Amino acid sequence: MTLTEEQKAIKKEYAKYKRIVTQIAGEIHDIVEDTIWTEYEKLLTLSQDVQVAMKDVTDFKAQHDFLK
């Protein structure tokens, strides 16, 4: 399946949304693995951030059928 230029641009934007989720998840992982005893208070905010970012990903994906 060959993608149109518009579809390529949409896939690139989708990748940005996914990268944000991955970045937040990485921060959570680092805290859990390395600094849980001193930075645990950051987990609540990061958890909320990942929920918002995941909603952005799923909403974007729902708007573009070819991403499914």
The domain ranges of the chain are 5-67
Q: Give the pLDDT score at 32.
A: 97
| d(C-alpha 56, C-alpha 3), whole Å | 23
- Tell me the pTM: 0.88
Q: What is the mean pLDDT of residues 46-60?
A: 97
pLDDT at 66: 86
**8 alpha-carbon distance from chain centroid:** 19
d(CA 35, CA 57): 28
Inter-axis angle of helices 5-30 and 42-63, to 10 degrees? 160
CA 66 from chain center: how many Å? 19
User: Can you tell me which residue has the tokens 């990942």?
Assistant: 50
